[in-house]
Amino acid sequence: MRFGRFLVPSGLLALAALSTPALAQYPNKPVTIIVPFAAGGPTDVVARLVGQHMSRTLGQTFVIENIGGAGGSLGMTRVAQAAPDGYIIGVGNMGTQSAAPALYPNLKYDPAKSFAQVGIVNFTPQAVVSKKGLPPATLKEFILYARERGSALTYGHAGVGSISHVSGLVFNTKFGLKPNLIPYRGTGPVLQDMVAGQIDYTVDQSLNVIPQIKAGTIKVYAIAAPARLKSLPDVPTTKEAGEDFIFSAWNAMVAPQGTPPDIVAKLVDALNKALDDPAIQASYVELGSSAPMGADRGPAGLQKLVESEVARITPVIKAAGVTAE
């Protein structure tokens, strides 16, 4: 577990205290954002990025609490079961909010019903990456190499039901790869071990891997998106690399179901202000992410996405015959 604190300049706190009674009511003490994965991974990075901005907008300290385990479902269970007063919220992802129900028969939350949706935080394509020392130079060469070696290669993921687990399931099944699956509490630690040469490959969010790709500490074969990323102009898409594999991830902010509508509205407004900030938009471009726009914004956009993603991913997982319990 790791905690992070965003301190608000005292002038802003004073301003918040003097403003409208509604603002004085909420938030009048620190807000905890539960990140259901280890610190340093993609969910943690975006939660800190928008959380810091929301802290300035709402004039209150936002604290990050990392509760990893069970592919993120442990942390999201804590959010679902928290008091619905706006002081514990969470940032989940496509795994926790769409894949988990198909993988955990005893899951203690329903992504479509147990939360007051705040909004989509970002969309990010997956990238196929390996440790630096692997010999293949292209995606096609990598697939042949991995197929020949089977379980002699290790695949690191963020736990059963996480995005890296599900995207790996689809990728490995499609190309006939049978690696040794190694679960972690997030892809931040997966990447650390890959840089250290202890994990062979993964399919993870560009958000997480771009800094290491740019530093030359890991190898990238392709971005699983229809178009190249501005921040990685030399890296081919999977289609350009000759394969048909597209996989887009997303993160989402939620509060416990029953949180009063005026509190949810403040969180929605603060999240939207963060998404409109040019500095956050520039960070998103640098990390290969994009912000939700138009109808994708806010609670309705997130509710629609959760329902459509549960319907899309459940049959894929059922067909693969995987469960976590």
Question: Which listed residue (26, 27, 34, 43) binds ligand MLT by CB under 6 A?
Answer: 43
In DSSP terms, which residues pair with 252 in a beta bridge? 92, 120
Q: Hey, which residues between 135 and 164 contact ligand MLT (CB under 6 A)?
A: 158, 162-164
Closest separation between CB of residue 205 and ligand MLT, Å?
A: 5
In DSSP terms, which residues pair with 237 in a beta bridge? 223
Closest-by-Cβ residue to ligand MLT is: 41
Question: Which listed residue (101, 125, 188, 299) binds ligand MLT by CB under 6 A?
Answer: 188
Question: Which listed residue (51, 92, 179, 186) binds ligand MLT by CB under 6 A?
Answer: 186
Distances in whole angstroms, Cα of residue 200 to Cα of each of 113, 128, 209, 220, 320: 38, 11, 14, 12, 23
Write the DSSP string, 148-180.
Answer: HHGGGSEEEESSTTSHHHHHHHHHHHHTT---E
Q: Does 204 bind ligand MLT (CB under 6 A)?
A: yes
Asked if 52 and 107 count as a contact pair (C-beta separation under 8 A), the reply is: no
Closest separation between CB of residue 29 and ligand MLT, Å?
A: 27
| CB nearer to ligand MLT: pick between 13 and 290 | 290
Q: Tell me the three state secondary structure of residue 311.
A: helix
Could you give the string, one character per residue 94-123, with x where binding to ligand MLT holds by CB under 6 A and - elsewhere?
Answer: -x----------------------------
Q: Residue 37's closest CA among 141, 159, 195, 174?
A: 159
Q: At what angle do helices 261-276 and 42-58 cross, to 10 degrees?
A: 110
Closest separation between CB of residue 116 and ligand MLT, Å?
A: 22
Question: Which listed residue (205, 237, 238, 272) binds ligand MLT by CB under 6 A?
Answer: 205
CA 168, CA 253: separation in Å to the nearest integer?
A: 24
Which residues would be at the binding site for ligand MLT (CB under 6 A)? 37-38, 41-43, 93, 95, 158, 162-164, 186-188, 204-205, 208
